[in-house]
């Protein structure tokens, strides 16, 4: 018995020296412990999810197999370890098959320590032994609908625990002999009570598997050394940021400064990878980890606003004290703010004026026209959805009309009517109010003697009646013709 005790102590000490605390935990009150075994997956291993929609997910890690064991007093000379094997993603039949194989390994090596052999088998040969290949099929509907993984075996609870100290030695010995009596559990005929499925039958297994994979990937990344592409310093992954789309790595110090500058300048859509021509964007969670609360609040606000700007049916309340996002009905230019109840025109941003023309400035109208004409077909379609196709086209036409009038016409100094000069001298007559005026200085002329304006030496238009006009010697003009 003393030799068995010494062998057990040596084996447990060896396991503690080989595996870290997260992989191996020794029991405090008995000769036993728990081992977490992460399987070595091949490259490009995938999960295949079948249900309403079929999808594949690349994974590098799956939740570990958990081997709980207790060493009987006569181990390793006579009895094998008492154990249970549990998993969050394997079936009861697969775990039962592994339990049977562990029994076989003990029979082949009875009288010797087998824990390390078991661990190596489970860690390195489980996938090949169970013929598990990529893609690993995960049926989400069966996990919720009451398949094999939902069934609760009352004996499974027994299999999750090693023998307690309250049991009698005779009962322990009897159970040990039963374990080693050569009666193995065949997956095709009977499930092994030592095989325990840890998955909650009422939960979706996919998020748990993907979350574990993400956590393990981050852990592996944190332990590697990377060279920052900005400051060219070698740093651990725990001090670096990896862009998920391109896998380019930079240190957090450089990226924090870069993010803060971009957010301060309002370029929240430009938090992309600094690598030239790379378009991978930082995720909001990555930004939140690096910048202070005030900067992230600004980033979050501007990001929401930029997203709303890309929605054709969303405009903003024009009141400076409000600025609330407003949903606009299709084919209308009226918006009603849900916060301040202000009804406004989405085109000119003034109070809603129905079918009346917008009181929009020439510069604003010209800007709208130029933006529309210079936009891509997709951009033009977006503006037509936001303002209405008829409204945009009318605004373009009106802008062109205003520009033409500005270049070719002048306003009557009395009534403001646009007057185009086609031919004749610089003494003009308004077609609307019949007022005489000078085409050069737009001054009103006397109805009695309108030409005195051009004959007075003190007039700014002295002797300029025909200034800029090609005069034909054979052609004369009269007041009536003017």
Q: Which of 26, 22, 66 is nearest to 197 (CA)?
A: 66
Angle at 189 between CA 185 and CA 192, to 5 degrees: 35
Query: Exposed, middle or buried: residue 223 (CB in 10 Å: 0-12, 13-18, 19+)?
Result: exposed
Chain mean position to CA 190: 47
How far apart are the C-alpha atoms of 138 and 50, rounded to whole Å? 6
Q: Which of 267, 273, 275 is nearest to 286 (CA)?
A: 273
**Contact 162/32 with Cβ under 8 angstroms?**
yes
| Strand boundaries in 421-463, DSSP class E | 427-429, 436-438
Exactly one of 425, 430, 438, 461 is catalytic; name it.
425
How far apart are the C-alpha atoms of 129 and 118, rounded to whole Å? 13
Distances (CA, A) of 471 to 223, 224, 476: 91, 89, 9
Give the DSSP letter of residue 270. G
Q: Would you call 425 a catalytic residue per the annotation?
A: yes
**Contact 346/336 with Cβ under 8 angstroms?**
no
How far apart are the C-alpha atoms of 239 and 236, rounded to whole Å? 6
How far apart are the C-alpha atoms of 113 and 8, rounded to whole Å? 8
**The residue to which tokens 């690598």 are assigned:** 275
**The residue to which tokens 């971009």 are assigned:** 262
Residues 6+ apart with CB under 8 A from 60: 41, 45, 213, 216, 217, 220
How far apart are the C-alpha atoms of 318 and 342, rounded to whole Å? 9
**The residue to which tokens 């499925």 are assigned:** 197
Residue 12 tokens read as: 């447990």
Helix, strand or coil, per DSSP, at residue 264: helix
Chain mean position to CA 325: 22
Angle at 42 between CA 40 and CA 46, to 5 degrees: 110
Residue 130 tokens read as: 């169970």
Strand partners, 94: none
Q: Tell me the pairing of strands 314-316 and 55-58.
A: unpaired
Query: Exposed, middle or buried: residue 416 (CB in 10 Å: 0-12, 13-18, 19+)?
Result: exposed
Catalytic residues: 425
């Amino acid at each position: 018995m003393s030799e068995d005790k010494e062998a057990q102590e040596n084996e447990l000490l060896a396991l503690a020296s080989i595996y870290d605390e997260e992989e191996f935990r020794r029991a405090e009150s008995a000769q036993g412990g728990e081992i977490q075994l992460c399987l070595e997956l091949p490259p490009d291993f995938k999960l295949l999810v079948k249900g309403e929609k079929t999808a594949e997910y690349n994974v590098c890690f799956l939740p570990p197999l958990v081997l709980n064991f207790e060493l009987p007093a006569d181990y390793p000379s006579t009895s094998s370890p008492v154990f249970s094997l549990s998993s969050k993603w394997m079936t009861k039949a697969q775990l039962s098959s592994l339990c049977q194989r562990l029994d076989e390994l003990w029979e082949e090596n009875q009288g010797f320590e087998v824990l390390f052999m078991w661990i190596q088998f489970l860690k390195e040969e489980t996938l090949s032994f169970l013929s598990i290949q990529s893609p690993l099929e995960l049926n989400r509907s069966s996990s919720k609908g009451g398949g094999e993984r939902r069934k609760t075996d009352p004996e499974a609870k027994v299999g999750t625990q090693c023998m307690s100290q309250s049991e009698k030695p005779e009962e322990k010995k009897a159970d040990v002999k039963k374990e080693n009596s050569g009666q193995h559990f065949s997956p095709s005929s009977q499930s092994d009570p030592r095989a325990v499925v840890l998955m909650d039958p009422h939960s979706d297994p996919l998020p748990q598997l993907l979350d574990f994979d993400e956590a393990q990937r981050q852990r592996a990344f944190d332990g590697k050394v990377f060279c920052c592409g900005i400051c060219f310093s070698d740093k651990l992954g725990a001090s670096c940021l990896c862009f998920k789309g391109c896998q380019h790595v930079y240190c957090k110090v450089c990226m924090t400064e870069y993010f803060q500058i971009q957010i301060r300048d309002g370029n929240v859509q430009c938090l992309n990878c600094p690598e030239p021509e790379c378009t991978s964007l930082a995720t909001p969670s990555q930004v939140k980890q690096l910048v202070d609360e005030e900067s992230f609040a600004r980033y979050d606000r501007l990001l929401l606003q930029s997203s709303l700007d890309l929605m054709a049916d969303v405009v903003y309340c024009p009141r400076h004290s409000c600025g609330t996002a407003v949903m606009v009905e299709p084919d209308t230019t009226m918006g009603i703010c849900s916060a301040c109840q202000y009804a406004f025109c989405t085109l000119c941003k003034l109070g809603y004026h129905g079918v009346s023309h917008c009181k929009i400035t020439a510069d604003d109208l010209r800007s709208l026209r130029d933006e529309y004409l210079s936009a891509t077909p997709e951009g033009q379609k977006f503006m037509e959805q936001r303002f209405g196709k008829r409204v945009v086209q009318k605004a373009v036409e009106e802008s062109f009309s205003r520009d033409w009038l500005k270049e070719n016409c002048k306003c009557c100094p009395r009534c403001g009517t646009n007057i185009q000069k086609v031919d004749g001298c610089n003494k003009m007559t308004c077609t609307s109010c019949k007022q005489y005026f000078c085409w050069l200085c737009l001054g009103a002329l006397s109805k009695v003697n309108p030409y005195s304006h051009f004959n007075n030496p003190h007039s700014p238009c002295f002797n300029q009646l025909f200034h800029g006009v090609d005069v034909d010697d054979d052609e004369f003009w009269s007041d009536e013709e003017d």
